[in-house]
Amino acid sequence: MSATPLLQVQGLSKRFEVSAPWLQRVINREPRQWVHAVSDVSLQMVRGETLALVGESGCGKSTLARLLVGLYAPTQGRIAFGGQDLHQVLASGAQEAQALRRRIQMIFQDPYASLNPRWRVHDIVAEPLRVHQPGLSPQDQADQVHALLASVGLNPKDAAKYPHQFSGGQRQRISIARALAVSPEFLVCDEPTSALDVSVQAQVLNLMQDLQTQRGLTYLFISHNLAVVRHVSDRVGVMYLGRVVELAPTQQLFEQPQHPYTRMLLAAIPKMKKGPQTRVPIQGEVPNPLSPPSGCAFHPRCPQATAVCKEQTPVLRSVQGIEIACHHTPG
């Protein structure tokens, strides 16, 4: 694994306007409303690693993923990929943007919704080849499609079928083959196994790890399943209401979680022990992102909260090999 960062994110924020129509706001004298989906996120990734993002629904994981692949433009902040400013390059010109997009691909959560039901598998997997390698002959294109399908454990003859003829796990393999068609360096995986059965999840995860080893891929892996995260990731970032509150090596985070929210998430995992379950339910609800709490957004649910937590937003800082945003962490 190289120590040179492939991806560097600095002060990244994204907000969406959710205001009522202009005339309605004028009549009712309502102000414009914004939701801060991602707030001041900074992180970096080195080549060949897997960074997992976890957190409750609505914490901004998927929005951050879409920012990193260029589907959304940031409200503020900077994303550097391979030393290039991602959104400057994407806005600069077709040739430069296409070359950069080839290096970054995404695997979506629902394998059926992300595949065109009217296209055969050959056309789905070959589409990136037609865009990025227009000079390929039909035979070379077919050979590459067959090789990609074989690399994800499918029969090359499956190229003639439609998505509805496959199981969920097979459809996700098709999605992976499509993502690999242009030989990317960085794959953003937005809950790629959450729609699959447990046994199929294991097959897809093992496939992704094998492909990472063979191709030197770098993964951003988004999941709600902490058991999966522990199995596949090198580091874990915990998000809460648009902010990263803890970022640590996987083993250290699971064995010695520092942020109260991280401890709450881990305490909610069912334990395989004899006798009564020791599962602790997560307390409270995620606040409304339209009117987030002052100071630390987690303070209404935090058992350690004090007056400073209600007044000041904690900054993500390095403490003993991890990064954490909490007023009550020594260091």
Chain segment 193-225, per-residue pLDDT in tens: 887 788 888 888 999 999 999 999 999 999 988
Round to whole Å and give the CA distance between 266 and 240. Answer: 14
Over range 79-97, report the average pLDDT: 88
pLDDT tens for residues 159-191? 999 999 999 889 999 999 999 999 999 999 998
Across the strands, what pairs with 12?
41
Q: For residue 112, what pLDDT is reported?
A: 84
Q: For residue 66, what pLDDT is reported?
A: 93
> pLDDT grade, residue 278 (50/70/90)?
low
CATH class of 5-233: alpha beta
Question: Residue written as tokens 């690693």?
Answer: 49
The single-letter code of the amino acid at 117 is: P
The answer to whether residue 276 scores a pLDDT higher than 80 is no
Round to whole Å and give the CA distance between 237 and 221. Answer: 10
Q: For residue 6, what pLDDT is reported?
A: 94
- CA of 309: how far to CAs of 37, 201, 230, 293, 305, in Å? 21, 39, 30, 10, 6
Round to whole Å and give the CA distance between 309 and 106. Answer: 37
pLDDT tens for residues 98-157? 889 999 999 988 888 889 999 999 999 999 999 998 888 999 999 999 999 999 999 999
> pLDDT grade, residue 288 (50/70/90)?
confident
Q: For residue 304, what pLDDT is reported?
A: 87
**82/197: higher pLDDT:** 82
**273/119: higher pLDDT:** 119
- Using a pLDDT cut of 70, give the percent of the chain over it: 95
Q: Are 71 and 30 in contact (CB under 8 A)?
A: no
3-state secondary structure 254-268: HHCCCCHHHHHHHHC
Round to whole Å and give the CA distance between 181 and 51. Answer: 22
The single-letter code of the amino acid at 129 is: L
Round to whole Å and give the CA distance between 7 and 208. Answer: 20
Q: For residue 8, what pLDDT is reported?
A: 96
Six-digit token string for 301: 């649910």
Q: For residue 291, what pLDDT is reported?
A: 86
For 13, the 3-state DSSP assignment is: strand
Q: Which residues contact 227 (CB under 8 A, 6 or more apart)?
A: 269
Round to whole Å and give the CA distance between 165 and 120. Answer: 10
Q: Which residues contact 184 (CB under 8 A, 6 or more apart)?
A: 102, 103, 104, 105, 217
The answer to whether residue 12 scores a pLDDT higher than 70 is yes
The answer to whether residue 95 scores a pLDDT higher than 70 is yes
Q: Which residues of 63-74 are buried (b: 16+ CB within 10 A; e: fewer)?
A: bbbbbbbbebeb
Round to whole Å and give the CA distance between 37 and 56. Answer: 13
The answer to whether residue 281 scores a pLDDT higher than 70 is no
CA 126 to mean position of chain CA atoms: 25
Q: What is the mean pLDDT of the chain?
A: 90
Q: For residue 312, what pLDDT is reported?
A: 93
CA 93 to mean position of chain CA atoms: 26
pLDDT tens for residues 61-76? 999 999 999 999 999 9
Q: For residue 248, what pLDDT is reported?
A: 96
Q: Are 37 and 59 in contact (CB under 8 A)?
A: no
Q: For residue 93, what pLDDT is reported?
A: 74
